[in-house]
Amino acid sequence: MNTEQQEKATPELWQSLPNAPGVYLMKASDGTVIYVGKAVRLRTRVRSYFREKSTQALTSQMMRYVTEVDYIVTETEVEALILENNLIKVHQPRYNVKLKDDKRYPYLRVTTNEPFPRIHITR
């Protein structure tokens, strides 16, 4: 079950976010989605954008335009990954470079030749 919320992008925003898996949509003042991301812990991930000085020029540039953050809580990280991919395909956000142009879904590969199988995300 997904839970959708909308919040104004203020430094205090992360205090109201749940520490649960989900997807966040960063919006510009005109309502355009400019970035879609996923998180294992929404509060921690969104807080990092406001608290830390980014060494990435693109991230610093993006944060100057963010005025609103919407989020969708998901049951699992895998559900968040799939939802993030779908939302990027729908919104084509300006700052999502890696997933925006790729027309393929990510796949999960499970190792079966190990005592403890591992899951890998592949394309």
- The 10s digit of each residue's pLDDT in 56-115 is 777 878 888 888 899 999 999 999 999 999 999 999 999 988 755 555 677 888 999 999
Cβ atoms 75, 83 nearer than 8 A: no
Burial (CB < 10 A; 0-12, 13-18, 19+), residue 103, is exposed
CA distance 78 to 93: 21
Into how many domains does the chain fold? 1
Look up residue 42 and give its two tokens.
């929404």
| Cα 12 from chain centroid (whole Å) | 19
Q: What is the pLDDT of residues 14-52, one digit of tens each?
A: 678 899 999 999 999 999 999 999 999 999 998 888 776
Parent domain of 42: 3-122
CATH number of the domain within which 58 lies: 3.40.1440.10
Cβ atoms 36, 100 nearer than 8 A: no
